[in-house]
Amino acid sequence: MKLPQKVTRKRMRIILTTVIVVAILTSVGNRYNITLLNTISDVLTYPISKIVMFTKYNISDFFTNFTDVEEIRHQNELILEENARLTYENSILYQLEEENIHLKELLELKNRYEEYPSEAANIIGKDPGNWYKIFTIDKGLISGVNKNDIILANGALVGYINDISPLTATVLPIIDDRSYVSIQIVRSGDNGIMTGELELTNKGLVSVEVDITSDIVPGDQIITSYLSDIFPPGIPVGEVIEIMPDNDGLSKKALVSPIVNFDTLKSVLIIKKGEEE
């Protein structure tokens, strides 16, 4: 039976290809002293070996990378914990620095008025209402504090003690509308009266009234006057920020911003005048 021409050609191609492959394998085997069987085995197993090794290395790399990711995550957690600790420590250091600065200011005030006995005190209570700005300190009669003793902070005037008990005292600050202080304009030497006003109390401001002929302008520094019957002269008070119109034609009125920030005030210096009532 005669095979179709197409089948015969296909067989011839297969036989020819086989002969060429065997010839190549034989040549390779002879060149490297490998038998034909081993050469065929190598050719057949080489792709499989490559696949196995590729898979092995990639799996190894995957687990290595996974381990590296876990290590990086752990290191990041340690860094975050360290940052949190350092932030907390910096906050504590900042608070201590602020406290040291404030204590230094109190010490400088004490040295400035060394002719008077003095003592530091903490504010332990404030008037919750909006009408008055009185506050309570943790020093009283037992500590040698008396009525009308002067209260300073931040190098400037706060007020004076207007009520006292054995363990505590109440301070009337200069921003309270019941406060009156004789003052002097540093630049011109003119005198006037500084008072608190309800409209200004919550703004932390006070007003100054001087004679119509007085020389007063924004930026002028205000200190206590020698005319005061409570405060020694020369205590810094604040700065003029605005000249207000006055309709009576006899005086000038100015707004003064005190040096002391009453909203953040926590501790003060008591200047003991030694006056008992």
- Residue written as tokens 């003119």? 190
Angle between helix axes 36-112 and 5-31 (nearest 10 degrees) is 70
Q: Using one digit for the tens of pLDDT, what is the confidence trace for 181-194?
A: 999 999 888 999 99
Three-class SS state of 158 = strand
Q: Look at residue 212 and tell me whether its pLDDT is greater than 60.
A: yes
Domains of the chain: residue spans and CATH = 118-271 (2.40.10.350)
What one-letter code names the amino acid at 149?
D
Phi, psi angles (nearest 5°) of residue 188: -100, -20
CB neighbours of residue 220 within 10 Å: 20
Note the pLDDT of residue 259. 92
Quick one: which of 208, 186, 189, 192 has its CA closest to 257? Answer: 208
172-201 mean pLDDT: 91
What letter does residue 259 receive in the DSSP assignment?
Answer: S
Q: C-alpha 213: how far from its chain's center? A: 47
Per-residue confidence at 48, pLDDT binned at 50, 70, 90?
low
